[in-house]
Structure 1
Amino acid sequence: MVPGDVLASRYVLEARLGRGGMGEVWRAKRLETRERVAVKFLRDDLAADVASQKRFLREARAASAVRHPNVVEMYDVLENEGTPFLVMELLAGETLGNRLRRKGSLSPAETAAILLPVFDAVEAAHAAGIVHRDLKPENIFLARDGDAVRVRVLDFGIAKQMEKLSTPMMGEVGATTAPVGTTGAMIGTPYYMAPEQALGERDVDGRADLWSLGVILYECLSGKRPTEAATLGGVLKIIVTDGMVPLGELMPDLDPHLADEVMDLLRSDREMRASSLGALRTSLQQQQPESALLDLPYDEAAPRSVRLAALEGPRRRLWPFAAVLATAGILLGVLRGGGTATLESASRGSDQHVAQVK
């Protein structure tokens, strides 16, 4: 692909925004309307891989199934000379991950202003039968919308279609699709991954997304991830043994109801975990989110923090899952055999590339 190439007689490529472990994203222009969009391709060496194609198309189906102002919009799923590509809205702004790197932590009001729209998006996804499974700060985007900022949830690349839902927030056991990879695979980003997801259980439902939101809220309010550890085994041990420092102990001045409700999302036993966001929503609304100015830095002031969203996070590493559990020293009998853990290095050091793709 080179600038000037025309795709499916509809879009002309302008510039490549980024390339990652699984694909690349270009800025393009729709020929009929002159509107600029993001076009996403599989990498050439993965275009013929059936599993990669399935994941690629699943992202399109999942994102298209969730029509919501706070979910990135999918315009088209097309082919060009036999290669599928996705056409999505082009966003400018920054991820929540970058905002946390800039600011360290956020006030309760700013946290509420960002996360309440995410709650709406996640509830809409669950109502449509979609579990995101990879909610994290890098997949929450603060996009410029004229003079305002609109929050968008990105990257449905590992989303799971549930067969049916008993409530908008909690799915029943059983799904029409299994996780990507072999049986017992661990899919997602470990710091934000629910215990049942980390252990490769096949009946992951909407409560896994609620866990991830709990970790994100904890991090926004305190500036610390509750699952932080020096090794992957240490992260997993915290996740499955309720080993987190209670948010109220870490932040004694925080509204105790808000602190307790965040921790209710972080119970390792999902039967004991909060199954809806109702109480937490009420507490966040009491933090006066309308008073929080969601400013975005200008390019001149922070040239690497304002980016065009390529709608996916940093590159991931593959680790043998059995070795991970052995390192953690926990629950070796839960999963038998091999399997693959798809993991991400989520350090809060230097910024990512202008356009991030897997």
Structure 2
Amino acid sequence: MDTTLSDPLIGQLLDGRYRVESRIARGGMASVYLALDVRLERTVAVKVMHRSLAEDPQFVRRFIGEAKSVAGLSHPNIVQVFDQGTDGANVYLSMEYVPGRTLRDVLSERGRLPAREALEMVIPVLAALGSAHQAGLIHRDVKPENVLLADDGRVKVVDFGLARAIEATNQTKTGMMIGTIGYMSPEQVTTGQADARSDVYGVGIMLFELLTGRQPYEGESPMSVAYQHVHDSVPAPSSIAADVPPSLDALVAAATDRDPARRPADANAMLIAAVETHRGLPRTGQTGQHTAPHGVRHSTTGQHPGAHSSGGFQAPPPLVYVGEGAGGGSAGHTMIQPRSELPTDAGGSAGSAGRAGFLRRRSNWFVIGLALVMVAGIAFSGWWFSQSRTVTVPDLVGQNIVLAKQAALKDGFEVKVGKARFDDKVEKDNVLDTEPGPGAEVTKGSVLTLIPSAGPETIAVPDVANLSEAEARAKIAEVGLTVGRVSKKESDTVPRDQVVGTNPSVGKRVKKGGNVNLVISLGLLMPDITGMTRDEAEKFLRDKGFNVQIDETANDAQPGTVIGQDPAGGTPVEAGIEVRLTVSKGPDNGWHWPWDNNDSEPPGEVVVVPDVRFKALKDATRELRAAGFKVKTRKLVGTRRVIQESPSGHQPPGSTITIWH
């Protein structure tokens, strides 16, 4: 059927901003459209709530609140909510458009996935849920239909908070349970309450389905599936798919424990366990596609590639469905269902009433029943006392603390986590030891204390600036570190033989017993400025705070060149002292350098000295040598660029040019 003809929104400009191009999904609660945001010129997905919900003020109020909360989430694995608004009777969300398909589509095409690939689907989902849990948001409807696989390989979670918004509608009332029955936690079934651990349960069921190609529970009605969630334990995936490793059996068992207190506290806790499990899986093995086990039904949702799960409810009682539902009949749909319809035993309430009436009509059966109970009690007592009452403490050392705790709980121990201890060999947050130790025989139900590793002990580098070397060594040794290399550096701020700094720097944490390198001050050293022109030398020294005195003397050196200094270069000095410079007046026979005054040609062959000031030291050296000069370098301020050069002007080839840096 052509949706353009049947859907009046197609071709319309919603709220003056979103031009609706086509419908890509439709559910009981909403329809999802591909649209163009004409203001920002980008393609978006617009989810428009159906009229029955849009006319409910309680739903609209809750829907707006949830949309604002979800819009505040910023995570690469969460479909971003851009905008929320109303246009007449239309209540809508504007969201990130993710071209691709849902995880349900992948399951329908491939059946079960290899263990490593299944975890690689679940880990980004846990990362997304963990971010939401930290922000205080619960998804409440985790299922493959709400996980999108983008064409570029990204995994995205969609429809945060929509199940919660439904709770505010006039279509629901106290005593209703809301969610997708195949993934609904026991507490959602029995009380309607959900928290972060309920999302963890949904992820555990989804991981089971990825590993086996089917959901753990099947039944003729949604209520029979709900009954199994409440009263049965999810079977190990390896009982259906023999190649599933034990570590994944343990992860699924931990996530789907019927008691919320025994599950990982939130998605972040399960994420740690999932990553650790993934790390332990072999990199070789099955890589091809799996075929679904016999009897597993696959959905044919017909969802457009890139479609978002539309969510939503259909009207006909007693069930209201959300989403494009796939697989396993009604167990694949979000639903609202009275909890009063949940059967209390396998036979159902009608069967129980029939049996009660039968006993009333046959009161003499009471005596027979009592006798049977007594016989059963005696038999049970004999069995009980014949069973072993001890269990061996497993070796959990080196395992991630979360996984180890779940494994110990599964073995029947009461588990406590002790104070972490530093250890150089066992990684942080892995089990360092257990109390009692591995191999000990203890009574079933005993307390097993897990001691986590805090990793190697680290110590902050202390502040030893301006201390003597001996004082610095003592202070570093006092905190449990050692002095490594000692180097020296000129400093005009730190007195000679005192510490300028350390490497690593102050406050950085170093493994206990590790090295800290010291830098000791040489103090202020007199720069060597011989060979520099008088003006350059005098300006440099006065800028440094020295008091400069000039003595001139006849010399064969070019006039105006510094030929001596007191104190000599490299001498430790105090700032502000007097420095005497001896400057050449030229030869005492009266001869001068006429070519520098441009009044005649220079005698013999001369070459113009290139001006290399402010050039990189390496480039300046190369240029001077290329011009035929020898090069002498002197450190002045310690930069990698030339500060001064001398002599300049015209010089005979092969002359030595001094450059300061």
Give the TM-score, by structure 2 length: 0.43
Q: Which has the higher contact order (CA 8 A, sep 6+)?
A: 1
In structure 2, the residue matched to 1:321 is 339
Q: Secondary structure of the equivalent of 2:149?
A: strand
Q: 1:290 to 1:28 in 2, by over 3 A?
A: farther
How does 1:222-233 map onto structure 2 within 5 Å? Answer: 222-233=212-223
Instruction: Please point out which of 153, 178, 201 is paired with 1:211.
Output: 201
Shift of 1:305: 6.3
In the alignment, structure 2 segments of 5+ residues that lack a partner are: 1-7, 290-299, 311-322, 326-333, 350-661
Shift of 1:50: 2.2
The number of equivalent residue pairs is 307
Task: Tell me if 1:36 matches 2:43.
Answer: yes
Q: What CA distance in whole angstroms lies between the structure 2 residues aligned with 1:291 and 1:112?
A: 14
In structure 1, the residue matched to 2:260 is 270
Shift of 1:223: 1.2
Instruction: Tell me the alpha carbon deviations over residues 301-336 of structure 1, each in whole angstroms, 9 at most, x when there is no partner.
Output: x994652323332265554432233686689xxxxx
Instruction: Please point out which of 135, 141, 150 is paired with 2:154.
Output: 150
Instruction: Please point out which of 134, 142, 150 is paired with 2:141.
Output: 134
In structure 1, the residue matched to 2:274 is 280
Q: 1:226 to 1:56 in 2, by over 3 A?
A: same
Q: What CA distance in whole angstroms lies between the structure 2 residues aligned with 1:329 and 1:139?
A: 34
Does the 8 Å contact 1:110/1:292 carry over to 2?
no
Task: Tell me if 1:221 matches 2:211.
Answer: yes
Q: 1:242 to 1:27 in 2, by over 3 A?
A: same
Q: 1:327 to 1:44 in 2, by over 3 A?
A: farther
Does the 8 Å contact 2:178/2:335 carry over to 1?
no
Q: 1:220 to 1:183 in 2, by over 3 A?
A: same
Q: What CA distance in whole angstroms lies between the structure 2 residues aligned with 1:107 and 1:76?
A: 38
Task: Tell me if 1:71 matches 2:54.
Answer: no
User: Which residue identity lines up with residue 310 of structure 1 in the other structure?
Assistant: H
Q: Secondary structure of the equivalent of 2:104?
A: helix
How does 1:1-358 map onto structure 2 within 5 Å? Answer: 1-81=8-88, 83-144=90-151, 148-158=152-162, 181-202=172-193, 204-275=194-265, 276-277=269-270, 278-287=272-281, 304=302, 307-312=305-310, 313-314=323-324, 318-325=336-343
Q: 1:323 to 1:82 in 2, by over 3 A?
A: closer
User: Which residue identity lines up with residue 81 of structure 2 in the other structure?
Assistant: M
Shift of 1:237: 2.3
User: Which residue identity lines up with residue 240 of structure 2 in the other structure?
Assistant: L
Q: What CA distance in whole angstroms lies between the structure 2 residues aligned with 1:75 and 1:231?
A: 38
Does the 8 Å contact 2:217/2:225 carry over to 1?
yes
Shift of 1:156: 1.7
Instruction: Tell me the alpha carbon deviations over residues 331-351 of structure 1, each in whole angstroms, 9 at most, x when there is no partner.
Output: 9xxxxxxxxxxxxxxxxxxxx
Shift of 1:85: 1.7
Does the 8 Å contact 2:100/2:307 carry over to 1?
yes
Does the 8 Å contact 1:93/1:308 carry over to 2?
yes
Q: Secondary structure of the equivalent of 1:271?
A: helix
Q: What CA distance in whole angstroms lies between the structure 1 residues aligned with 2:305 and 2:88?
A: 30
Instruction: Tell me the alpha carbon deviations over residues 210-267 of structure 1, each in whole angstroms, 9 at most, x when there is no partner.
Output: 1111101111011121122233232122211234322233334322122112111111
In structure 1, the residue matched to 2:400 is none
User: Which residue identity lines up with residue 265 of structure 1 in the other structure?
Assistant: A
Does the 8 Å contact 2:178/2:192 carry over to 1?
no
Q: Secondary structure of the equivalent of 1:25?
A: strand
Q: What CA distance in whole angstroms lies between the structure 1 residues aligned with 2:140 and 2:174?
A: 16
Q: What CA distance in whole angstroms lies between the structure 2 residues aligned with 1:92 and 1:293?
A: 25
Q: 1:179 to 1:237 in 2, by over 3 A?
A: farther
Shift of 1:178: 6.7
Q: What CA distance in whole angstroms lies between the structure 1 residues aligned with 2:335 and 2:195?
A: 24
Q: 1:82 to 1:113 in 2, by over 3 A?
A: same
Q: 1:289 to 1:240 in 2, by over 3 A?
A: farther
Does the 8 Å contact 2:100/2:306 carry over to 1?
yes
Q: What CA distance in whole angstroms lies between the structure 1 residues aligned with 2:10 and 2:86?
A: 18
User: Which residue identity lines up with residue 120 of structure 1 in the other structure?
Assistant: A
Shift of 1:38: 1.2
Q: 1:67 to 1:103 in 2, by over 3 A?
A: same
User: Which residue identity lines up with residue 314 of structure 1 in the other structure?
Assistant: E
Does the 8 Å contact 1:190/1:235 carry over to 2?
yes
Q: Tell which deviates more after alignment, 29-38 or 18-27.
A: 18-27
Does the 8 Å contact 1:39/1:87 carry over to 2?
yes
Q: 1:291 to 1:256 in 2, by over 3 A?
A: closer
Q: 1:18 to 1:97 in 2, by over 3 A?
A: closer
User: Which residue identity lines up with residue 340 of structure 2 in the other structure?
Assistant: A
In the alignment, structure 1 segments of 5+ residues that lack a partner are: 162-176, 296-301, 332-358
User: Which residue identity lines up with residue 198 of structure 1 in the other structure?
Assistant: V
Does the 8 Å contact 1:66/1:125 carry over to 2?
yes
**What RMSD over aligned residues (CA atoms) do the two structures have, in Å?**
3.3
